[in-house]
Amino acid sequence: MSSTAAPAHVVRATTTTRILGVLAVLVVAWMAFLAAGDNPATQTKIVELCVFVVVASMWNLLAGYTGLVSIGQQAFIGLGAYALIVFGNGYGQDVYFSILPAALIALVASIPIALLAFRLRGAYFAIGMWVIAEVVRLLVKQYKAAPIKGGSGTSLVVPTNLYPKAERFQTTALIALGLAVLAVTVIALLLRSRIGLSLQAVRDNEHGASGLGVNVYRERFIVFVIAAFFTGAAGAVWYVLKIRIQPDTAFGVSDWTAPIVVMVVLGGIGTIEGPIIGAALWYLVRDYVTSTGSAIQLSDEWYLILTGLLAMVVALFFQRGLWGALSGRFPSLQVFPIRRRLVVGDEVGDHRDRKRAT
C-alpha cells in the first residue's frame, strides 16, 4: 500500500560513487607521490596532463553544459601566461604567488569579452571567440616593450637561488595537480548544486530551461567567468614550467583549443569524467606513439591530425564519447555524485522503478 504521507527524500551518493571516489583519491595520491619525486620528465608530464585536465574540463563546462562552443579559450591561456610574465619579470614578484593574480587578470578580462561575445550565438559565437583571441594575440605581439616583449617571445625569469631547477619542477607539478583537483572539485560541486541542475537543463534544451524560469544568460555568464579564471591559472602554471613564452603559441588555437576539443569529444562531452579521461588518454597514447623508441614514430602534428580525425568519427557515430557510451551502457556509473534519486516511501525509489526502466 502506498501512503501519501510518506516523507520524500533525495539520495545522492551511491555505492558506485563511493567506490570510484576512493579510486579517484588513490590516483591523485599516486600522482602526488610522483610529483613530489625527483624525475623531471615525469613531473613535466604531470604538469602537462593536469593543465589539460583543467582547460578541457573548463571547455567542456562551457560547451557541454551551456552550449557555448568557444574556439578562443587560448585567449585566457595567453592572458594568464602574460600576466605571469608581467608580475614576475616586470614587478619581480614570486612566480608561484603570481599564479593567482594572473588567473584573476584572466577573470577580469573575461567580463568585457563575455559582454561582447554573448551577443553572438552558436557558430558565430565560436568564430567570434576565435577572432577575439587572435586580436589579443596580435596586440600582445605588437607590444615589444618590457616586460611583455611580444614579437617572437621572452622568457620568465626564475631566480635559481630561490628555485633551483629540480625544486621548480617538483613545486610546479604539485601546484598543477592541486589546480586540477581544485578545478574538477569546483565543477563537481557546481553541477551538484541548484545552478548545476539548471546547467544540465540548458545542456539538454536551452529553450525549455528558460521556459521553466532559468535565466540562461546569467548561468552562461557565471560559467564563462569561472572557466576564464581556471584557464588563466592553467596558462600561468604551464609557463612556470616551460619558461619560454611566445605570443603565437600562448595564444595558438592549434596549441590549445584544438587538442582540447579532441580530448573532450573523445572522452565524452557533457560529463565531468569525459574530459579527464580524454586528456589522460590523449597524453598516454601520445607519449607512446611520439617517443623515439616506439615502433610508430609520429610528429606532434601528425598526432593531432590523426586524433582529430578520430574525434570526427566519434562525433559522427558515437556522439557521447567514451564515458558517455559507458554510462549509457551502465546508467548507475558515475564518479561524482551529481544525480538525484527520489525516494518516497514505497511509491518510488526502491528497486522497483530501476527494473521498470530497463
* Sole window of 43-51, 70-78, 276-284, 334-342 interacting with another protein (rule: CB under 8 A): 334-342
Alpha carbon distance 162, 176 (integer Å): 19
Contacts 24+ apart (CB under 8 A), 16-22: 16/332, 16/333, 16/334, 17/334, 17/335, 17/336, 17/337, 20/334, 20/335, 21/335, 21/336, 21/337
Considering only 45, 141, 286, 339, the residue that binds another protein (CB under 8 A) is: 339
Nearer to another protein, 80 or 196 (CB): 196
Q: Shortest CA distance to 141 belongs to which of 228, 244, 251, 241?
A: 251
Q: Scan residues 198-227 and list those touching another protein (CB under 8 A).
A: 198, 200-201, 203-205, 207-216
Residue 94 or 350: which CB sits closer to another protein? 350
Return d(Cα 268, Cα 270) in angstroms, integer: 7
Note whether 60 and 269 are within 8 A (CB): yes
Nearer to another protein by C-beta: 161 or 358? 358
Answer yes or no whether residue 8 interacts with another protein by CB under 8 A.
yes
- Footprint of another protein on 241-280 (CB under 8 A): 270
Q: Which is nearer to another protein, 74 or 198 (CB)?
A: 198
Of 108-116, 136-144, 196-204, 221-229, the window that binds another protein (rule: CB under 8 A) is 196-204
Note whether 349 binds another protein by CB under 8 A.
yes
Number of residues that make up the chain: 358
Neighbours of 10 (CB within 10 A): 11
Q: Which stretch binds another protein (CB under 8 A): 84-92, 165-173, 232-240, 335-343?
A: 335-343
Is residue 17 involved in binding another protein (CB under 8 A)?
Answer: no
Q: Which is nearer to another protein, 133 or 269 (CB)?
A: 269
Phi, psi of 353 (to 5 degrees): -70, -25
Considering the complex, state which of residue 235 and residue 268 has its C-beta at the smaller distance from another protein: 268
For residues 233 and 289, the answer to whether their CB atoms sit within 8 Å is no
Does residue 118 sit in helix, strand or coil?
A: coil
Nearer to another protein, 134 or 347 (CB): 347
* 75 touches 134 (CB < 8 A): no
- Please write down the long-range contacts of 108-116, taking CB distance under 8 Å and 24 or more positions apart: 109/75, 109/76, 109/79, 109/228, 110/76, 110/224, 110/225, 110/227, 110/228, 110/229, 111/225, 113/75, 113/228, 114/220, 114/221, 114/224, 114/225
Least distance in angstroms from the C-beta of 327 to another protein: 10
Q: Which is nearer to another protein, 286 or 341 (CB)?
A: 341
Q: How far is the CB of 326 from another protein (least distance, A)?
A: 15
Question: Interface mask (CB under 8 A) for another protein, residues 154-193, using x and -?
Answer: ----------------------------------------
Residues forming contacts to another protein in the complex (CB under 8 A) are 4, 8-10, 194, 197-198, 200-201, 203-205, 207-216, 270, 331, 339-342, 344, 347-349, 352-354, 356-357
